[in-house]
Amino acid sequence: MSSTRGVFKGCRALMAAKAATPKPSSAAKSTVKPTPAILKPLPVSPALRQFLGVPEAARTEAVKKVWEYIKLHNLQNPTNKREILCDSKLKTIFEGKDKVGMLEIAKLLSGHFVKTV
């Protein structure tokens, strides 16, 4: 019994020593991560520029603004909330479609972003 007591006592001492050593902080790391492409502001097409009111936008911001417009003007189909009923302003950016599925919005907006090299 006394031999196990000595082992655990030594183990506690090692654990206490490890806990006392300072850990390297994340602020000490100087590596800068690049901005993901989805968050980079890109030039947009004239139709999307007129809708958003800005010459450049990130994809996430564009989708967010479109959803704000949809909610504000109550353009979701009341019987099927996954379906968007386009008004004249949305038709200009959604290829003239009368109805758009909610999962299609990002795909239809991607054509409005000008790719830069």
* Residue ranges covered by each domain of the chain: 37-110
With tokens 């007129």, the residue in question is 50
**For the segment 21-39, what is each residue's pLDDT rounded down to a tens digit?**
776 665 556 688 877 777 8
Total-model pTM = 0.67
* Kind and range of the H or E run holding 51: helix 46-52
Exposed (0-12), middle (13-18) or buried (19+): which is 102, by Cβ within 10 Å?
Answer: middle
Give me the pLDDT at residue 25, please: 62
- CATH tag, 37-110: 1.10.245.10
**For the segment 63-103, what is each residue's pLDDT rounded down to a tens digit?**
999 999 999 999 999 999 999 999 999 999 999 999 999 99
